[in-house]
Structure formats: C-alpha cells, structure tokens
Amino acid sequence: MLSARSILWVILSLAASAIAIQAGSREPVAVSVECAGVEPCFTLDEPTDTLRQDDNRPVYAFRFPDAYGDDLRNQRFRAPDRAHVRGVLFAFPTRGSAQWTTGSPDLVVKLWPMGEDSLPVAGGEWLSDTVAFEEWASHVYSLDSTWRGDSTQFVYVDLATHEIQLDSGQWFHAGYSAVLEAGDSLAILADDGIPETSYASEWYNGRFVLMRDGWRSVNFFMRVVVSLDSAGLNVLGPDGTVADLSLCTVYPNPFNSRTTISFDVIRPGIVRLSMFDLLGRERLLLLDEHKSAGRYRVNLDGNDLSSGVYFVQVWTLGRRQAIRLVLTK
C-alpha cells in the first residue's frame, strides 16, 4: 500500500516527465527540498533549476548559470497609450540557499522595441543597463513568505533617466541577463503559463525560443512601470493589463483625529511624506529621510487640525502621489 507521500512523489515525477517531453532535450531530475518545516514544500529540478511550489504562485524559477547556456530571459509588453518608461520590476527568489541567487551577480537590464508576434533579434536595443548587485540585492522575494505580487516583493530598477518614450499601442520587450563571477548564481521567478500565454522567451541553444514551445508557456514575473500622465505611476502586465502603482494608502479615511498612512518604498531612497490643506499649505511634515525598500506605516495625529479636507502626499522614486483625506471631529 503506497503512503500519501509516495503517491505525491509519483504525481510529481509524472508531471516532471510531461514537462521533459515538451521541453525536448531538457530532462528534469526531481530533487526533494524542505523549507519552513513543510515537507516537501517544493521540488527542485536539476539540471534545469526549475522550482515548482505547491501553491503555484509562483510556480517556476530559472537560474543563471544553467546547463543550457541561456543568457537572456525576456517578456513582451504593449503600451496602452503614450508613456514614459520609469522602471522595471523583477521578482527574484531569496538569497541564502545554494540553489538560488548567491554571490554578487550584477543585473543586466534590457529593453528594446519589437513587433507583436516577433521574437527578439540581436541588436537594436534601446537600452542595456547594468545594475550593481549592491543596489538591488537587499530586496528580494523570500520563498518562505506569502506571495502577494505587490511592489515590495519585486526588485525595482529605476530607468527614468533614460527617457524611453513609448507610442500608443507599441510593443516592446523587457528582459534581464547577469554578470557572473565564479560561484555566482541569479534566479528569476515565473508563473505556470495557465491559462496559456506567449509573452515570454529565452535564449536557448543559440536562438530565442518562446516559452510556450518548451516550458508550458510560462511567463516571467516582470512588470514595467510607466507614467501615462502626470497623475501617477502605472504597472504594465504582460497580458496587457494596466494597474495603478499605489505607493501610499490611508486607513481609516474619513478619520477622527487619528489615522495610519501606509506606503511602499520599492527602491531605496529619500521619502518625503507630508500633509497639505486645500490652499496648498503644508500643515504637517511626517517624514523626510532615506528609507530602504519595504512597507512602512506612519501614524497621523490630527488633534491640532480643524475638520475638513486635506491631502497627504508621498514623494518617492522622483514621483508624487497625493491622497484626499477627510478629517471629521
């Protein structure tokens, strides 16, 4: 009689075999891995370095270096309107495990224009920028944490100074590679490609290959941050979705004397948080200091203010977000 654990192992082995058939010469060898007291919480396929988590969010991770000489992962996006590229969000597994991001790998960020159904080709990039390890390594996703997909779980690469402009409806690629020294490794997270999509590709065996052709149509966890207008930041998803990048929230609102302001810092830097009245006068300076990447909370005490409408404003990433507040006593 097979135990529940044995049955689970058989299921995982069959799934790995199915993936190997689709992947051609890529034949994963399942290796059991334990984390956070759960057994097993995920499996690691070697030599492909493919991570399968049991909650499927995210479901894969791909690593540099690997056995196949892949040196560029990328994903295509479409601009919903005229826009200015502000940065790119990448999702990396945590450091601290020999299988994942280790050492001091520098991140090479690439952006270039392409057609809707085309694969990348050599040359023609708008941008190929290298970000030093020290600038991004302090903020990576922990495999033992809950994946929420919010900005604080991504590494943010600020590209605003490159002045990359997009035309309405324009397709383009965003991707990454790595500069590796001996002992370095760098991994990026991906989803399971369900429902099937075809936005991601990688450099494999001397050519670009759509992930739908080799890995069940996985998409990498990349997001492009753009400014569509002066009001704020937006995040482009690979499926064409556009979402506001909310850097700041206030709860409760309306409030009676006290409320809490929560804000995200997705790249280390100076954060200024202040409160204004309807005439544009600064009534409270709540914060003006350097912050590391992460989520923060600040308590606002309005006991010395009159009832009325105010605005709380957060400056970070060189951008401003203002939120309307209502104080009632």
CA distance 192 to 196: 9
Q: What contacts 24+ positions apart, CB below 8 Å, involve 54-59? A: 55/147, 56/191, 56/192, 57/147, 57/149, 57/191, 58/91, 58/147, 58/189, 58/190, 58/191, 58/221, 59/190, 59/191, 59/192, 59/218
CA distance 81 to 303: 43
Of 9, 46, 60, nearest to 215 by C-alpha is 60
Q: For residues 172 and 79, is the Cβ–Cβ distance under 8 A?
A: yes
- Give pLDDT, residue 220: 85
Half-sphere exposure of 10 (CA within 13 A, CB side): 6
Q: Are strands 222-229 and 83-90 parallel, antiparallel or unpaired?
A: antiparallel
CA of residue 87 relative to chain centroid, distance: 11
pLDDT tens, the chain, 329 aa long: 445 444 444 333 434 433 333 333 443 333 334 444 444 444 444 444 554 444 445 667 777 877 666 678 889 999 888 888 988 988 887 765 556 788 899 999 999 988 777 787 766 688 999 999 988 887 677 666 666 666 777 888 888 888 899 998 899 999 999 999 988 888 888 776 666 667 888 877 777 888 777 666 778 888 898 887 655 678 888 777 787 777 778 889 999 989 999 887 877 788 999 999 888 889 999 999 988 777 788 999 988 899 999 988 888 766 677 788 899 98
Residue with tokens 């948080």: 273
- Give pLDDT, residue 55: 44
DSSP state of 151: G
CA distance 60 to 236: 21
What angle is formed at CA 222 by the lines to CA 217 and CA 227, rounded to 5 degrees?
130
Decide: pTM greater than 0.85.
no
- Give pLDDT, residue 42: 47
**Residue-by-residue DSSP string for 66-127:** -TT----EEEEEE-SSSEEEEEEEE--PPSSSTTSSBS-PEEEEEEEE--TTPPP-SS--SE
Per-residue three-class SS string for 269-287: EEEEEEEEECCCCEEEEEE
Q: For residues 86 and 166, is the Cβ–Cβ distance under 8 A?
A: no
Residue 206, H or E segment: none
- Give pLDDT, residue 24: 39
Q: For residues 17 and 10, is the Cβ–Cβ distance under 8 A?
A: no
List the structure tokens of 93.
């597994």
CA distance 137 to 155: 8
List the structure tokens of 101.
């991001």
